């Protein structure tokens, strides 16, 4: 019997990358899964976003574990779409026990040169989208006096980064959102935590724009392998999605029932390294 047998988890941004990995891990441990993804392009995003076929592939991975999976194309920027998804999940599964607010995008620009649309797309997706997702689900969790919520932030939710002002602003906002949600719902059987990874090996970072942002010149995969370890104390260019899932699986378990309102770093020592360099 899996650790999450009888639980239902809703995961945004689950067509591929971290979201897919979380869905696969939770299903392996017995949870039924509800997944969504935008499955369309956003103009200011410099890489190809996930497709409907990607979403279906995640659904098939979940079902291969013998679990039920509801897969819906939905845009976290639209509260009504997220409310409809939550309502459908509750109708079909009876409850939502676990929420993984994971959907996000990346792009790069100096703030002095950033277009208004690039800023808006980032904040709408990476911050307002997290609010919309949580807002759609948390009344149900309050009613049932149980919930485990994880919102994916970033190491850039705890510091700044050149060409990443919009991303850092959104990810910093997530920390405030999480801390407030945790305080407001601590007496209702609900825990709320943020995970702050360093660079994760997904399609979000494997593109020329992000390679350039991290100093890979020219912006090739081979040069990225050399450039990306620089922020990390542990000399790896990036971590695997499974590393994030390992932490997430603990935080949504009953073993972590007294852990709430925290920003959990899984950053290969990058922030500690930055402080050391500043004072070393």
What residues are annotated to the active site?
Answer: 167
d(CA 202, CA 206): 7
Number of neighbours of residue 116 by Cβ within 10 angstroms: 7
Sheet of 32-37: strand order equals 69-73, 32-37, 8-12, 98-101, 147-152, 190-197, 263-266
Rounded to 5 degrees, what angle do the CA atoms 58, 64, 66 make? 120
The DSSP secondary-structure symbol of 90 reads: H
d(CA 220, CA 212): 9
State whether residue 191 is helix, strand or coil: strand
Q: Which two tokens stand for residue 2?
A: 């899996």
State whether residue 113 is helix, strand or coil: helix
- DSSP H or E stretch at residue 197: strand 190-197
């Amino acid at each position: 019997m899996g650790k999450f047998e009888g639980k239902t988890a809703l995961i945004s941004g689950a067509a591929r990358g971290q979201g897919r990995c979380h869905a696969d891990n939770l299903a392996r441990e017995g949870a039924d899964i509800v997944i969504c993804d935008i499955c369309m392009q956003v103009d200011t995003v410099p890489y190809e976003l996930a497709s409907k076929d990607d979403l279906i592939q995640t659904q098939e991975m979940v079902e291969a574990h013998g679990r039920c999976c509801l897969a819906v194309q939905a845009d976290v920027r639209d509260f009504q779409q997220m409310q409809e998804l939550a309502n459908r999940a509750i109708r079909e599964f009876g409850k939502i026990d676990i929420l993984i607010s994971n959907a996000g995008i990346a792009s790069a620009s100096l703030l002095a040169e950033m277009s208004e649309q690039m800023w808006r797309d980032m904040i709408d997706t990476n911050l307002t989208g997290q609010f919309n997702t949580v807002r759609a689900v948390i009344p149900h969790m309050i009613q049932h006096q149980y919930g485990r919520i994880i919102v994916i932030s970033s190491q850039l939710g705890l510091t700044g980064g050149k060409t990443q002002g919009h991303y850092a602003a959104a990810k910093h906002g997530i920390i405030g959102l999480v801390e407030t949600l945790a305080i407001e719902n601590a007496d209702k059987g609900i825990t709320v935590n943020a995970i702050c990874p360093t660079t994760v090996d997904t399609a979000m970072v494997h593109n020329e724009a992000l390679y350039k942002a991290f100093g890979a010149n020219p912006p090739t995969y081979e040069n990225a392998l050399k450039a990306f370890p620089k922020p990390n104390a542990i000399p790896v260019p990036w971590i695997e999605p499974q590393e994030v899932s390992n932490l997430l699986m603990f935080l949504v378990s009953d073993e972590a029932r007294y852990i709430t309102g925290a920003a959990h770093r899984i950053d290969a020592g990058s922030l500690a390294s930055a402080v050391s360099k500043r004072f070393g």
